[in-house]
Amino acid sequence: MSLSANCTRDECIKFVVDFLEVSLHQILWARKLYPNEIFKQTQMFNTLTYKSIHPEVNSYIDNALSTIKTLLSSDFIEKFVMVIKDNGKPIERFVFSFHSYYKSTPSGKVMLNVTEIRQQARAIWLTMMQRFGSEIQGNRGGCTFAFEIHTRNETYDKILERQSKTEDFHWVVADKIMNPNSVIPCRKLDSHPFCIDVYTEDYRDDDS
């Protein structure tokens, strides 16, 4: 039986943020940037997932998602990216590309096919575990992660940087991004009103 629901804009935003949160923790667990001991098993949409229990890691993720929530509300976001670095050099980028996000009915609500969306989210998380569930080649101890936001308006990039200077979590306008050696599609969350492409960009040398 298919489950549907009428959702407000805020409820749609919450779903996207929840989906991103689980995805980010899955990536960290799958790529083994941290010891398994800092992760706990949990359930989301009847799927086994992993979540960090490290306060600083979780705070960093939560602060990034707080900005994403604001950008989703104003429909400014184009891409949200988790960048994995080895000794400061980007080696992988996990990209969430927003093609369309929200169109409401005159009532201000939108009909979600909850069953379909949950199935697609589960498929994305399972793909992450299967495809990326290995330790990054190289020195794991030298690996870190950071976030990038790509907005639909370059002016907003500078506004976001200026506003965040007064906060603990500071965004800066990024330098020009290098072209990846390869792009690997993951899956797409494609069910009205969402269309979010998920893929990875690999920057490692062929012999690394």
pTM summary value: 0.86
Q: Which residues contact 58 (CB under 8 A, 6 or more apart)?
A: 52
* DSSP string of 61-111, one letter each residue: HHHHHHHHHHHHHHT-EEEEEEEEEETTEEEEEEEEEEEE-----TTSEEE
Question: What's the pLDDT tens digit per position in 149-179?
Answer: 888 776 566 666 666 555 566 676 666 677 8
Domain of residue 63, CATH code: 3.30.900.10
Task: For residue 207, tell me if it sits in a domain.
Answer: no
Chain-centroid distance of CA 200 in Å reads 11
Task: Report the distance separating Cα 19 and Cα 96, nearest Å.
Answer: 11
Residue 88: predicted pLDDT: 83
Task: Give me the residue label for tokens 């990054």.
Answer: 136
Cis peptide bond N-terminal to 193, omega within 30: yes
Q: Which amino acid is at 12?
A: C
Angle, in degrees to the nearest 10, between helices 9-31 and 114-131:
20
Res 128: pLDDT: 86
As for how many domains the chain has, the answer is 1
Contact 180, 186 (CB under 8 A): no
Q: What length does the chain have? A: 208
Domain that holds residue 9: 4-202
Tokens 């992988």 identify what position?
A: 92
Q: Which regions of the chain are under pLDDT 70?
A: 1-4, 100-108, 133-141, 154-170, 172-176, 206-208
Within a domain: 208: no
